[in-house]
């Protein structure tokens, strides 16, 4: 009889600049070895949906962690208040996000039950951060960009002190296989921007696969929002887990992992 068990809790780990940052971490119980995944949350910040996705990844056999990218604004204990303060000050700083994500990757690899493989997955602004991570960080074994807007700067969401480099301009530096999930009714990014992103990946001979869904717009995985699209989300999650299986597994069968 298969065993399903996990532990999920808040942890404090060194992030960018050595700052101790709060993270939410879920992993299967058992000695592993388990691949790791860093989840880069969306622009609204930490919320129940984000925690559920971390636990979903753990349920599927991954040691999954999400850094609270607004942690440094969190003075009230309320995650939405922290996100509001971060937004009012211009949003997340790319270099700080990369430092926090890098800290999480190191943390995952340092665990005794780690199999040494680490992937990243990001939603919304997190998808854009995934493209940056795949270009700027060493050791990303698989990158999943879920509807990341702003990979190509727009007039309203362009280059800024917080975001000094356009991810599209770093395409040549991408050093991880990339999976992209997009809704064809999305406006950030619109389909024409996804086309440009794909053209750049082809031009530089990068390993990638894009899955683009009709009848779906932005955030179509979010079952707590009107944007949820059940058929498309179920199919896309299957693509993600197949991608991670291909790039994050090792020969050993992880002890404690679910068998689906």
Partner 1 sequence: MCTYVTEKAEMFGSAKGPQGWFKVDMANVYFDHPFHAPLDHSLNIDFVNEANGSPTRVAVEISAESARRLIEKIQAALEAGEASHSIPPEPVKA
Check residue 55 for interaction with partner 1 (CB under 8 A): no
- State the nearest-atom distance from the C-beta of 116 to partner 1, in Å: 32
Tokens representing residue 3 in the block: 């065993």
Q: Which residues, other chains included, contact 71 with Cβ-Cβ below 8 Å and sequence gap of 6+?
A: 15, 19, 21, 22, 82
- State the nearest-atom distance from the C-beta of 22 to partner 1, in Å: 16
- State the nearest-atom distance from the C-beta of 87 to partner 1, in Å: 5
In the stretch 207-246, what mask flags binding to partner 1 with x, by CB under 8 A?
----------xxx-----xxx-------------------
Check residue 75 for interaction with partner 1 (CB under 8 A): yes
Q: Which of 15, 201, 239, 30 is nearest to 115 (CA)?
A: 30
Collapsed DSSP state (helix, strand, coil) of residue 156: coil
Which one of residues 103, 150, 167, 177 is an interface residue with partner 1 (CB under 8 A)? 150
Check residue 39 for interaction with partner 1 (CB under 8 A): no
Choice between 90 and 116, CB closer to partner 1: 90
Pairing of the two strands 20-28 and 63-67: antiparallel
Check residue 61 for interaction with partner 1 (CB under 8 A): no
Which secondary-structure segment (H or E) carries 8?
Answer: strand 6-14
In the numeric block, the tokens 């280059």 are attached to: 159
Contact region with partner 1 (CB under 8 A), list: 6-14, 20-28, 94-102, 154-162: 154-162
- Residue 224 phi/psi, 5-degree rounding, is -100, 10
Q: Which residues, other chains included, contact 210 with Cβ-Cβ below 8 Å and sequence gap of 6+?
A: 179, 180, 181, 182, 194, 198
Q: Which residues bind partner 1 (CB under 8 A)?
A: 42-45, 47, 73, 75-76, 80-81, 83-85, 87-88, 90-91, 124-125, 149-150, 156-157, 162, 187-188, 217-219, 225-227
């Amino acid at each position: 009889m298969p065993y399903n068990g996990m532990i999920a809790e808040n942890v404090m780990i060194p992030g960018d600049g050595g700052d101790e940052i709060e993270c939410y971490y879920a992993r299967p119980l058992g000695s592993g070895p388990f691949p790791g995944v860093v989840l880069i949350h969306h622009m609204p910040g930490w919320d129940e949906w984000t925690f559920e996705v971390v636990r979903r990844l753990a349920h599927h056999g991954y040691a999954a962690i999400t850094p609270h990218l607004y942690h440094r604004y969190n003075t009230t204990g309320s995650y939405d208040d922290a996100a509001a303060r971060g937004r009012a000050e211009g949003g997340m700083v790319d270099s700080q996000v990369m430092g926090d994500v890098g800290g999480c990757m190191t943390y995952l690899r340092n665990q005794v039950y780690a199999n040494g493989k680490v992937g990243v997955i990001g939603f919304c602004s997190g998808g854009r951060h995934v493209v940056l991570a795949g270009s700027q960080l060493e050791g990303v074994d698989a990158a999943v960009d879920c509807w990341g807007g702003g990979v190509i700067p727009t007039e309203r969401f362009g280059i800024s002190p917080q975001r000094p480099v356009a991810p599209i301009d770093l395409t040549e530096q991408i050093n991880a296989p990339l999976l992209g999930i997009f809704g064809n009714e999305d406006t950030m990014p619109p389909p024409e921007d996804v086309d440009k992103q794909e053209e750049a990946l082809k031009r530089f001979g990068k390993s990638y696969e894009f899955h683009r869904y009709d009848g779906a717009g932005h955030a179509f995985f979010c079952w707590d929002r009107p944007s949820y699209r059940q058929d498309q989300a179920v199919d896309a999650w299957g693509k993600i887990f197949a991608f991670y299986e291909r790039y994050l597994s090792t020969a050993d069968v992880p002890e404690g992992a679910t068998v689906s």
